[in-house]
Amino acid sequence: MGRRLAVLGVSLLAALAIAALSRVPFAEADPVTSVVRLSWRTQGVQIRECRQLTEEELARIPEHMRRTEECVGRVTDYELVVAVDGALALVDTVSPSGARRDRPVYVFRDLSVSPGPHTVEVTFVPLLPPDLDEVDGAEALTWDGTVDLTAGERALITLDAAGAALLRRDAER
Amino acid sequence: MGRVIRGAQRGGRSVLARLDAWLNALYGTRYNPLYHSGALVVGCFVILAVTGLYLLLFYRIGAPYESVERITGQVWAGRWIRGLHRYVSDLAIVAAVVHAFRMAVQNRTWGPRALAWVSGLVLLSVLLVCGWTGYVMVWDVQAQLVATEGARLLDVLPIFAEPIARTFVGERPMPSAFFFLNLFAHIAIPVGILLILWIHVSRLARPALMPTRPLFWATTGLFTVLSVAWPISMAPRADLLRVPSDVALDVFYGFWIPLSQAIPPGAVWLTGLAAVAAVLAVPFRTRPPDEARVEPSWVNPRFCTGCEQCYHDCPYEAISMVRRGDGQGDGSELKGDRSEFVALVDPSRCVSCGICAGSCAPMGVGPPGRTGRDQLAAVKEFVERASPKPDDIVLVGCAHSAARSGEALTGAPLLRVSCAGNLHTSVVEYLVRAGAGGVMVVSCPPRDCWNREGVKWLAERLYNERAAELKDRVDRRRLRVTHASEGQAGSLVREVERFRAEVRSLERTLGESSIELNPECDLPAISVAQEGGS
């Protein structure tokens, strides 16, 4: 009888330990920070660099595949700068995705701030090569405004539907 | 490095031996849960499949949180079944880790067992992924944490066209397609687990897939009671535009989340890859050096009668029966005089347990140095050296049992064998006829046999006339088989003293004093080098 009780006790303790470890308090009930979330996707500024193939290079290519001009496309990097309450909070270079860096540019950053009102300025500027003066769609994207956040709230700053301007968006419910 | 690993193995084995001994005293060797760790994982899998099917009836991908809330609050027994599903999934992880630990410290990971080690690691990984998808299904704050942190880690890999993390931006509600894919993965992964499990046990004969029935039902009952007494409650709903708060983390599945929040994703990957590489390297790092490695079994075709006993007894399916006659060391020159078929050992599957040696009446198979003939030669030397006394006993001990401690503590002479299943019954007969008052065979507990079935076959051979059986002429009162794991020296000493007392009270018969073994078996040991062979 005593042994059976011991078996039951040890088994229950082991099971209780498993149950307790399956629900270890991790994040506190009342978060102490808020977040400014920056998230958008843009096609970026496409740059096409072309050059004429030499006679020797052309001679090495089968006749039916010969094109005199070879072009390589890529997307420019961007500089992302964020200031919160006038202080610089983030400076980062955002590169296009893809192994050849020719895919869209994605931004996904969370900046922790204290709860309460904050002025936020976001600048997203394409880093054009110095030899390029004017390129279509190479305008900087900016947003500045005030966010008043409760503890644990995330303010989402994203692109508008046309992809032309940054804005603060609330969640759809 | 090798020394460190062997030291860690010794330390781990010592801890395991103490735990085993303690649990053996409590549960008995038959129900010690540590011995059933691998089978318990499969048992958990069965419980998870049954409870999961019930929960699936009420789950809605269009409203994941609401449907789980309904399961928890309104569906008959839903809260308890959900709790059982969750607790048992945690138990599966614990059992899998214990199983891996046991195999690693017992040095049962290298050579032919490496496949089981690697596939076991894959099984554990897949089990974890299955658990993560299960947590995401609920779509509460813990699900949010698992999903967003997981996405952040995956985005480091340059394989996705678009960062997965953007799925969890929060500007739009999560699409049903996401929950459909997640549910599909949660159901499809277990099917994959079955396939990997098949690979995991593919090198085993008669794998013990399920724990003993009482243990299975006791586990089910225990966790059912727990899920009723301490049910699972609903955590707050996931809100991607809020920092997850009031999260209770399941450390068995979410152990990596604190790490991923503390260090950059690349460092998490490096840490994880380093851990996986270390675990994968265990078979290579624990493999003994070539000179210390035991050789696989070998068949002497001259003695093989084609009886198939070794073929049936091999726990690793390393022996097949082939037709004599291809002239490649299979005794083709004996064709016509001997059986049509002859046993053949596949060295790539043989772990050199020596169980085949104990199964072979004509002593024609076994690892070099441990065949029946080698054992007879060794026991002769042992008898000359130890001079067994009629009023005392001899211990024949498995190398992994408490036999060595038994010898030191009781003074009974010890004849060591690599595994109880390796012991040829003629050795027992020889010892009794040589004047030993009794022979006590000390083995590991049956569910902890390092060679899986050694203890089972030993008992069959000694008591149930399984070939190579102990002859009827041996008085069974002078024989005792006892199971004592490494840490059970105390109980072994008590057994030895009890058996000693019994033996001393026995009246010796005259017939047992004359040694008259089958002359065919009483040949000198034959080495591989002399004979060659299959």
Average pLDDT over residues A139-164: 91
Asked if residue B78 is part of any domain, the answer here is: yes
Q: What number is the ipTM of this complex? A: 0.87
Residue B526 has pLDDT above 60, yes or no: no
Residues B118 and B135 in one domain: yes
Higher per-residue confidence, A172 vs B491: B491
What pLDDT shows up at residue B328?
56
Asked if residue B530 is part of any domain, the answer here is: no
B468: preceding bond cis by omega (within 30 degrees) = yes
- Give the rounded percent of residues in chain A with a pLDDT score beyond 90: 61
Give the integer Cα–Cα distance in Å for B75 and B86: 17
Does B90 contact A at CB distance below 8 Å? yes
Note whether B86 contacts A24, CB cutoff 8 Å: no
Which tokens go with B121?
A: 């690691």
Residues B145 and B56 in one domain: yes
Note whether B172 contacts A27, CB cutoff 8 Å: no
CATH label of the domain that carries residue B327: 3.30.70.20
Structure confidence by residue, pLDDT tens digits, B205-261: 999 999 999 999 999 999 999 999 999 999 999 999 998 888 899 999 999 999 999
Residues B239 and B337 in one domain: no
> Which positions in chain A touch B145 (Cβ < 8 Å)?
26-27
Q: Which structural domain range is residue B303 located in? A: 293-369
Asked if residue B524 is part of any domain, the answer here is: no
CA distances from B90 to B123, B232, B252, B505 (A): 15, 13, 6, 54
Higher per-residue confidence, B478 vs B404: B478
Asked if residue B521 is part of any domain, the answer here is: no
Average pLDDT over residues B293-318: 94
Domain ranges of chain A: 2-169
- Min Cα distance B489 → chain A (Å) is 20
Residues B246 and B201 in one domain: yes
Within a 13 Å sphere around the CA of B399, how many CA atoms are in the beta-carbon half?
Answer: 10
Note whether B258 contacts A26, CB cutoff 8 Å: yes
CATH label of the domain that carries residue B155: 1.20.810.10
CA angle (B356 as vertex; B499, B419 as ends), nearest 5? 40
Residue B409 has pLDDT above 50, yes or no: yes
> Which positions in chain A touch B260 (Cβ < 8 Å)?
none
Structure confidence by residue, pLDDT tens digits, B58-69: 999 999 999 999
Asked if residue B92 is part of any domain, the answer here is: yes
What pLDDT shows up at residue B89?
97
Structure confidence by residue, pLDDT tens digits, B263-286: 999 999 999 999 999 999 999 988
Asked if residue B519 is part of any domain, the answer here is: no
Residues B170 and B228 in one domain: yes
Say how many domains are in chain B: 3
Looking at chain A, which residue has its C-alpha nearest residue B93? A18
> Of B318, B346, B369, which closes a domain?
B369
CATH label of the domain that carries residue B423: 3.40.50
How many CB pairs below 8 A link A and B? 120
pLDDT category, B408, cuts 50, 70, 90?
confident
Asked if residue B526 is part of any domain, the answer here is: no
Does A33 contact B at CB distance below 8 Å? yes
Note whether A27 contacts B245, CB cutoff 8 Å: yes
What pLDDT shows up at residue B528?
35
Give the integer Cα–Cα distance in Å for B280 and B378: 39
- Min Cα distance A135 → chain B (Å) is 25
Residue B388 has pLDDT above 60, yes or no: yes
> Of B369, B387, B417, which closes a domain?
B369
Give the integer Cα–Cα distance in Å for B14 and B25: 17
CB B342 within 8 A of CB B330: yes
Average pLDDT over residues B319-343: 74
Average pLDDT over residues B373-382: 96
Looking at chain B, which residue has its C-alpha nearest residue A29? B246
Q: Can you give chain A as a three-state secondary structure string?
A: CHHHHHHHHHHHHHHHHHHHHCCEEEECCCCCCEEEEEEEEECCCEEEEEEECCHHHHHCCCHHHCCCEEEEEEECEEEEEEEECCEEEEEEEECCCCCCCCCCEEEEEEEEECCEEEEEEEEEEEECCCCCCCCCCCCCEEEEEEEEECCCEEEEEEECCCCCCEEEECCCC
* Chain A interface disruption, residue of B138, B154, B243, most A CBs within 10 A: B243
Does A103 contact B at CB distance below 8 Å? yes
> Which positions in chain B touch A27 (Cβ < 8 Å)?
141, 145, 243-247
Residues B59 and B161 in one domain: yes
Looking at chain B, which residue has its C-alpha nearest residue A111? B243
pLDDT category, B483, cuts 50, 70, 90?
very high
pLDDT category, A172, cuts 50, 70, 90?
low
Burial grade of B91 (CB within 10 A; 0-12, 13-18, 19 or more)? buried
Higher per-residue confidence, B234 vs B336: B234
Residue whose token pair is 């549910």: B183
Asked if residue B531 is part of any domain, the answer here is: no
